[in-house]
Amino acid sequence: MLNQQTIEKLYALRMRGMADGFTQQQEDPQSAQLSFEERFAMLVDRQWNWRQNRALERRLREGRLQGPACIEDIDFRATRGLDKQVIRPLIQDSDWVRRHQHMFLIGPTGIGKTFLARAFGQKACRDGFTAYFATAAQLFRELELGRADGTYAKKLRALGQVDVLIVDDWAMAPLADTERRAFLEICDERYLTRSTLLTSQLPVAKWHAQIGDATVADSILDRLVHGAHRIELQGDSIRKLKGRNGKKSE
């Protein structure tokens, strides 16, 4: 009865990891051979891991990193100019995020840019950072809705605080005036304090024209381009190859 009351109190205190660990110890005869300190340390570890896993689940959910993309599933064998020696230092503890650096994934459709972007975002979440994924169209649509319902400033502030902002299909079409000015505001909010990852079918040299207004384009690119990691992919679509082979890696 006392043990059951203890377990119920642990659940009430939102210490589910410790409660589950305590229940497991009661069911395992070998636990009786351990000292109090050893059993207590195991309970603390269970609670710690439970909290860490919950926090990771929350970061992944709020980051909208749909799909199974992860660094471990990147296919370096595909001929597309993806160099493992370039990727390895970037994924080491997500050092590029820690340094508030930016990353551009550039290449034709079907080459795996979105998968890679989500994989980098997922790795950042695993390393304790927050991320947020959206296509450029989704991002500008959300901001436009924010203007309409009075939440624009709140949305802008949230985008400014996320550690890794991932914008997919960047510069696919010329930006409207409200879009380029909104993106400049985002860049200002994040300048030197956060990381941005952009995927695009267009080379960086063509982004200026797609942004439109020369002054705004200069301001945006000045905040993003200098010192950014550029990963330029090339070759045939591996999406078709993935479909034929039924593989999840890209």
User: Does residue 249 carry a pLDDT above 80?
Assistant: no
Residues 192 and 124 grouped into a single domain: yes
Token duo for residue 19: 């409660």
User: Does residue 10 carry a pLDDT above 60?
Assistant: yes
Q: What is the pLDDT of residue 1?
A: 55
Q: What is the pLDDT of residue 219?
A: 96
Whether 250 is in a domain gets the answer no
Domain range for 16 = 2-61
Q: What is the pLDDT of residue 201?
A: 96
pLDDT tens figures, 68-97: 888 888 888 777 778 888 888 888 889 999
d(CA 63, CA 118): 10
User: Does residue 241 carry a pLDDT above 70?
Assistant: no
The residues near 125 (Cβ < 8 Å, ≥ 6 apart) are: 56, 59, 60, 63, 65, 131
Element spanning 109, H or E: none
Residue 236 CB neighbours (<10 A): 13
Q: What is the mean pLDDT of the chain?
A: 88
Residues 52 and 72 grouped into a single domain: no
Higher-pLDDT residue of 170, 238: 170
Q: What is the pLDDT of residue 240?
A: 63
Token duo for residue 109: 């459709």
Mean of pLDDT values over 217-234: 93
Q: What is the pLDDT of residue 239?
A: 59
Higher-pLDDT residue of 249, 75: 75
Residues 56 and 135 grouped into a single domain: no
Q: How many domains does the chain have?
A: 2
Q: Any idea what the CATH number is for the domain that residue 163 is in?
A: 3.40.50.300
pLDDT tens figures, 130-179: 999 999 999 999 999 999 999 999 999 999 999 999 999 999 999 999 99
Whether 32 is in a domain gets the answer yes
User: Does residue 2 carry a pLDDT above 90?
Assistant: no
Q: What is the pLDDT of residue 198?
A: 98
Whether 38 is in a domain gets the answer yes
pLDDT tens figures, 12-37: 878 888 888 888 888 888 887 888 88
Mean of pLDDT values over 126-132: 96
- The residues with which 104 forms a beta bridge, in sequence order, are 198, 230
Residues 186 and 230 grouped into a single domain: yes
Last residue of a domain, one of 61, 81, 102: 61
Token duo for residue 159: 């985008």
